[in-house]
A and B are shown apart, each in its own frame.
Chain A
């Protein structure tokens, strides 16, 4: 342990704790801009400077470990003046169009300028005319607004190991840009949106598609369509943050009401589709597992495929492993197909007259809904528009809906009610746990007494567990945050190359840290603390559920009985499964 003083207040922290972190322990918030808790300090902005004792040298608190006996001063006239000058300098290279900025009121630079009482800009503007990049359809890159904090580059390269964004140019000409200076959509970008979730300003943000949704909702007369919406598991425990609630607050029932008030005709829940995914994917797994991955069922390990950013990554970086990929579509897409086939038929509505919207924690879902021909299984684009949690928050605010005081609502049957297994899809390990709950039943014909597989839960990057199903060992691995995946898959590759048995039978992969609850489309400011609380909200919902396993959901039984026949049936394959293609990192 290290003992020191910060602004005269004694503090004791573990060795290696930075001055910035230590200061928080004694309620001293050192102003900062480039630093983000998810990332190793990059030390670019120069705002978090502090002094040690009487030494006039300024040190960056974000990257300096607190040392025994230090006497840190975080505020004196010179420090304040220096920070202020640096903020003024940064503002001199940043456009003043805050009112029309996607980050208005949620911008870290704006907040800093407000806190420091910047009332004039002493330095002439040095702006740059750089083109907007909207080539991915999911994310928009506006390098003009970039303050070169480096977060997106570090997120993309270090957290996600995608290397789609990098710094180009030097000095003042430094800019963030897609790697190799191609369009973002023509390079390795997997649309996970973690860059947009970490950007402190409005330089990278989700492609706002609320416009077409408003248009559909407000259309009247002959052109009007039936507007159907689904909400993903992770949205319900994070949306509240945009309305001042603590992370993890479960707003499922208020969101149903809000969506209805926005004008949606039918409110379905992606959690139901998650149950459906488990039925298909669980069946697929059992088929492969039972014959040791040797038959036409496909090889082991089976790797989950419900994360579209991960699908994109695998197609680009691990094309050789496509046979290991579950062909089951993601819940968003299963729901989309079911709405325009099963439900349309049932409700006697022409699927051409259905406008299907999904509310997702994710920016890659905007890409998934037209990823390949299987996303048109109903004969139409199965999901017309995917919105992120952040977009939904704006719609609710714009419509003047007082979310927090709304009466509870219910989703619509039959594609609404869900099991606990469906909701935990939103957290890392959740898909694995949900699949195991059902796989146990598929293999043994019995239900588990204790459905909790705690070994696959939690925030650590790679989790391994071994589960015994009637004397047979099932080895599973769970990885989340794209940068952790290679380690797992490389071991699988190696075992295969050496002709050894696969280290795991079943692998769950989620591109974002914490799983979907940490998605790139979620409210800003996710830290591990926030992620843990969102996860807690998810598992609380699971525990309160009447049914904990997908196969127990009576409505799941109903759709199979009425429509899909049985898991893995020909019809199910036609509607609920997809395929993959190995791709080059760069289009050109």
Chain B
């Protein structure tokens, strides 16, 4: 039969370094010693996050959340909780000075670091079963909209909620809807931008895969509000599972009469179609997306006119991204007042982020606006992998900039990220550590923009290529200090004179790394040195004769091969032939291979 208690000990790197292993053993010993071995199972878990308060112990089924637990505490935990069934109050996580024995899990601040509004159903319901969505307050927002509210009330509801577009610059959603609602014309459209293209960003994909009805519900509400009868979801063809689940969801919604004519007997008609994007990043730009949706070449066009006045097929069109819509389903279901309490004054609600890069717990997170980067990266994300040093975090993908350690305590909002030289973007968050080279990063993002520039506007089309060529030169140790001035000159012109935000922000990664890490650029130029060892042309691998024991492992791993040496004698790398793959460096167990 089941155990009386389960003690979960965090086995994450952070906790292990603070002696969680000893604690684990001590708990076992105590269970044995106190004769409750058969009443409790003690297991190791993956990182809980929140590593600064580690080691962390959680006891089930009470869900007692203990922080900073030392091996010495094992005795008391077993004695109190397992034997007597009482929590060890002094170890409980507490906010401030008050210790409260009756803290529920949802009261623990740590669990509120993530607040899943958009992702409320992701990982909970079966996305292919509309009933499960309906059971969890699904389509209650639509009910409220169709039967209790007029279009103006809905616009007002959004205004009270303070929701701003989650796709980039944070335009107030209510205003977009209101402009479209008021725009003259009988035919209007609702469009969803699901053309998520930032490298490392996949929030929209996961949201659609996990909770497609939440998007559909909001789009119907939008149609009702602005007076549109047709909606389109423009989604990348590279998201087959999301497309499949959307198709199933649309079919189910049609079967239930939630899409189609006379929805729920309200007299309102609305239909939805899926349109596939062919993977051009620029089609995430709304005007380019609309052109593509019309069957034209996906190129941005000047604004004004804004889509609210002249959008799809020149008709008034609301275009929002997936996350914006999904927020609206919640706002309409739970009410604007509830929603407006989340987040900061100017940036309400939550934001989903895809944590990737050198982070311990990569994954999809959702936090209230105003959460600091430190909380996201170190508490939720569990910090940097392998205990390396944090270098920076790239938000906003190729359009954003690098944010460095000194700004980690900035609460996240549209304004704060822009002020830091980056942007909210759609929510990719790529963490970099000391092994990442800023020139390499800037080059990577510029290469992305080179590939993805639509080619229409001169500053972007030519500027990205010229900047990439310069960055490439620098990464090869062939740059000059004048090149840095050129990077800034082109970057500035591109930022100022590009037609759309692809070009307008393409220089951000370069300009922000130049601002924060100019020294590293200069090292590449003056000393021909890449301190992170990323720029292949500048790296030299050498064998330290004093440390080499002549095991020959490096020589066996070398693909060229260019490492020679007698057995048990120091080996030597033939620099002329070395391709700098770094295999020897990774293979050596004695630290004898040095990367310079």
Contacts and interface: CB of A to CB of B under 8 A. Distances in A.
Question: Are A and B close enough to touch in the complex, i.e. CB under 8 Å?
Answer: yes
Interface of A: 41-47, 49, 57-58, 60, 62-65, 78, 81-83, 85-86, 89-90, 92-93, 122-124, 126, 147-148, 150, 166-167, 169-174
Contacts of A45: 457-458
Given A171-B453, A172-B455, 12 more contacts: A42-B302, A44-B499, A46-B459, A47-B497, A57-B496, A82-B496, A86-B493, A124-B466, A167-B297, A167-B455, A170-B280, A174-B455
B466 A89 contact: yes
19 contacts: A44-B456, A45-B458, A46-B457, A49-B497, A58-B496, A60-B302, A63-B304, A64-B304, A65-B304, A86-B497, A89-B459, A89-B490, A122-B486, A123-B466, A148-B456, A148-B458, A171-B453, A172-B453, A174-B461
Contacts, number: 113
B457 A124 contact: no
Contacts of B404: none
A92 B466 contact: yes
A123 B464 CA distance: 12
Interface of B: 280, 297, 299, 301-302, 304, 450-459, 461-466, 469, 486, 489-490, 492-493, 496-499
Contacts of B280: 170
4 closest residue pairs by CB, A with B: A174-B455, A46-B497, A63-B302, A85-B493
B454 A170 contact: yes
A170 B453 contact: yes
A275 B492 CA distance: 61
A49 B458 CA distance: 13
Nearest to A48: B497
B466 A126 contact: yes
Contacts of A42: 301-302, 456
Nearest to A62: B302
A43 B301 contact: yes
Contacts of B465: 126, 171-172
B450 to A, nearest CB: 6
Given A85-B493, A92-B462, A46 B455 contact: no
A85 B458 CA distance: 11
A171 B447 CA distance: 11
B304 A44 contact: no
B339 to A, nearest CB: 31
A58 B492 CA distance: 11
A86 B486 contact: no
A564 B302 CA distance: 59
Contacts of A173: 455
Given A85-B489, A174-B456, A46 B462 contact: no
Given A49-B497, A78-B496, A82-B493, A89 B463 contact: yes
Among B454, B459, B464, B499, chain A packs the most CB atoms within 10 A around the CB of: B459
Which residue, A42, A46, A81, has most C-beta atoms of chain B within 10 A? A46
Given A82-B497, A92-B466, A124-B469, A171 B461 contact: yes
Contacts of B499: 43-44, 46, 60
A45 B493 CA distance: 12
A64 B492 CA distance: 21
Nearest to A78: B496
Given A49-B497, A63-B302, A78-B496, A89 B455 contact: no
A172 B464 CA distance: 9
A64 B302 CA distance: 8
A124 B473 CA distance: 12
A89 B490 CA distance: 8
A413 B343 CA distance: 90
Classify the interface of chain B: helix, strand, loop or mixed.
Answer: helix
A254 to B, nearest CB: 42
B455 A148 contact: yes
Contacts of A89: 458-459, 462-463, 466, 490, 493
Contacts of A167: 297, 299, 455
A106 B462 CA distance: 24
A147 B458 contact: yes
A64 B301 CA distance: 12
A131 B270 CA distance: 51
B496 A171 contact: no
Contact of B457 (A43, A85, A123, A172): A43
A42 to B, nearest CB: 8
Nearest to B455: A174
Contacts of A92: 462, 466
Contacts of B466: 89, 92, 123-124, 126
Contacts of B456: 42, 44, 148, 150, 174
A46 B458 contact: yes
B458 A90 contact: yes
Contact of B302 (A43, A172, A174): A43
B455 A170 contact: yes
Contact of A171 (B304, B464, B469): B464
A488 to B, nearest CB: 22
A171 B452 contact: yes
A44 B469 contact: no
A58 B497 contact: yes
A90 B458 CA distance: 7
Nearest to A59: B302
Scoring A57, A83, A86 by chain B CB atoms within 10 A of each residue's CB, the highest score goes to: A86
Nearest to B489: A85
B525 to A, nearest CB: 17
Nearest to A49: B497
Contacts of A58: 496-497
Interface centre among B304, B466, B486 (most CB of A within 10 A): B466
A173 B465 CA distance: 11
A24 to B, nearest CB: 19
A122 B466 CA distance: 11
A155 to B, nearest CB: 16
Given A41-B302, A86-B493, A89-B490, A126 B455 contact: no
B502 to A, nearest CB: 10
Contacts of B469: 124, 126
Nearest to B300: A43
A147 B459 CA distance: 12
In the complex, which of the residues B464, B486, B496 has the most CB atoms of chain A within 10 Å of its own CB atom? B496
A492 B90 CA distance: 91
A51 to B, nearest CB: 10
A171 B458 contact: no
A172 B493 contact: no
Contact of B486 (A78, A123, A148, A170): A123
B493 to A, nearest CB: 4
A58 B457 CA distance: 15
Nearest to B498: A46
A410 to B, nearest CB: 51
Contacts of A60: 302, 499
A148 B461 contact: yes
A169 B452 CA distance: 11
A99 B531 CA distance: 49
A410 B353 CA distance: 81
A170 B453 CA distance: 7
Contacts of B458: 44-47, 86, 89-90, 147-148
A459 B493 CA distance: 40
Contacts of A83: 497
A34 to B, nearest CB: 8
A462 to B, nearest CB: 21
B455 A169 contact: yes
Most buried by A among B304, B453, B461: B461
Nearest to A79: B496
Which of A41, A65, A148, A171 has the largest count of B CB atoms less than 10 A from its CB? A171
Contacts of B451: 170-171
A78 B496 CA distance: 9
A64 B305 CA distance: 9
B291 to A, nearest CB: 12
A86 B459 contact: yes
A46 B490 CA distance: 13
B490 A85 contact: yes
A251 B94 CA distance: 95
